[in-house]
Amino acid sequence: MTTLSAIPIHAAQQAPVHGETARAGAPEPIIRVRDLVVGFGSKIVMKGLNLDIRRGEILGFVGPSGQGKSVLTRTILGLVPKRAGTIEVFGEDVDGLTVARRRQIEQRWGVLFQQGALFSALTVKQNIQMPMREHLNLSERLLDEFARLKIEMVGLKPDAADKLPSELSGGMIKRAALARSLALDPEILFLDEPTSGLDPIGAGEFDDLVATLKQTLGLTVFMVTHDLDSLYTACDRIAALGDGQIIAQGTIAEMLESDHPWLRSYFHGKRGRAVVPQGGRHAQA
Ligand SMILES: Nc1ncnc2c1ncn2[C@@H]1O[C@H](COP(=O)(O)OP(=O)(O)OP(=O)(O)O)[C@@H](O)[C@H]1O
């Protein structure tokens, strides 16, 4: 690593923010959702949901299809309006934020949406640099150096920098999109089904990468997933959504003990049973 690689973008570019708590001493949880109600027309998707995302954890978020996992993510990100309830991010109620403060907070999270979302006309390097250009005022030399670091961080070869998304495999696209979500050195990563579309080996490698990044960068990760392997190998805790509320949360061991019918069929059904013997790397976290 070069000396430059040790410089966090935050330190170089972002002035301390009023009321900011230092990263190491921040209060838990990093995100706190209370009594959340979200709906579209007459359809109510969140019915008084409560959830904490704790600093430094990988929280796997599961639940039947169409129950609102993506909607919750998008609501926390401010992309879907809520009807009631509170969302606190980094200890601040998002309802009270000024536009400028909101923008500062948005720089502290990275998002990897399910539909990849790399710009097809831009190279990997240009994709990664896009959030940096939008939020930071860096020289071209620093932009190139930071993009190079992000590419290295996600395990892509340096020559991926100048490739277009169409020249990459599915796994490489996921890694490039992850590199872009890390562009601003976020504290939280939101991953929406990050291993969907990957073969089991590629998915396992991606899970390992996320777990490694969590350790090395001190990230908090909120991961929407249907992937049982991810729950066993990467997640510290799991929260399950059902009928607009959290029906259970805890370690994989605790989820396995749940009597809830959906959780029983999810974890103890045919696919769940197939995964159990190979899992457990993080089961006792
Ligand atoms: N913009 C929208 N307008 C109307 N309804 C919406 C909108 N976004 C989501 N919904 C509805 O909200 C519900 C929850 O959708 P969501 O995509 O969050 O489910 P999910 O749990 O992530 O599903 P999956 O596991 O299949 O990805 C669905 O019934 C969906 O049709």
Query: Contact, 51 vs 227, CB < 8 A?
Result: no
Q: Which of 70, 114, 228, 241 to mutate to test ligand 1, by most ligand atoms within 8 A of the CB atom? A: 70
Query: Contact, 189 vs 221, CB < 8 A?
Result: yes
pLDDT in tens, 93-104: 999 899 999 989
CB of residue 240 inside a 6 A radius of ligand 1: no
- The 3-class secondary structure across 225-254, one letter per residue, is CCCHHHHHHCCCEEEEEECCEEEEEECHHH
Distance, in Å, from the CA atom of 48 to the CA atom of 227, rounded to the nearest integer, reads 26
pLDDT in tens, 42-97: 999 999 999 999 999 999 999 999 999 999 999 999 999 999 999 999 999 999 89
Write the ipTM. Answer: 0.97
Q: What is the phi/psi pair of residue 282, to 5°?
A: -115, 15
CA of 70 to the centre of ligand 1 (A): 7
Atom 30 in ligand 1: residue holding the nearest Cα: 66
Q: In this prediction, what percent of the chain has a pLDDT beyond 70?
A: 84
Residue 277 has pLDDT above 80, yes or no: no
**Residue whose pair of structure tokens reads 């013997």 in the numeric block:** 277
Q: Collect all residues with Cβ–Cβ distance below 8 Å to 137 and sequence separation of at least 6.
A: 13
**Residue whose pair of structure tokens reads 């330190």 in the numeric block:** 11
pLDDT in tens, 234-264: 999 999 999 999 999 999 999 999 999 999 9
Mean pLDDT computed over every residue of the chain: 85
Of residues 92, 96, 98, the one with CA closest to residue 19: 92
Residue 14 has pLDDT above 80, yes or no: no
CB of residue 225 inside a 6 A radius of ligand 1: no
Strand partners, 192: 224
Distance, in Å, from the CA atom of 200 to the CA atom of 197, rounded to the nearest integer, reads 9
What integer pLDDT is reported at residue 71 of this predicted model?
95
Which helix (H) or strand (E) element contains residue 46? Answer: strand 43-53
What integer pLDDT is reported at residue 117 of this predicted model?
76
pLDDT band at 215 (very low <50, low <70, confident <90, very high): very high
What integer pLDDT is reported at residue 11 of this predicted model?
40
Distance, in Å, from the CA atom of 246 to the CA atom of 35, rounded to the nearest integer, reads 11
Q: Return the amino acid letter for 140.
A: E
Q: Collect all residues with Cβ–Cβ distance below 8 Å to 267 and sequence separation of at least 6.
A: 228, 255, 256, 258, 276
Structure tokens at 4: 């430059």
Each domain of the chain, given as residue ranges in start order, spans: 121-185
Q: What is the phi/psi pair of residue 183, to 5°?
A: -55, -40
Ligand 1 atom with the smallest distance to the CA of 241 is: 21
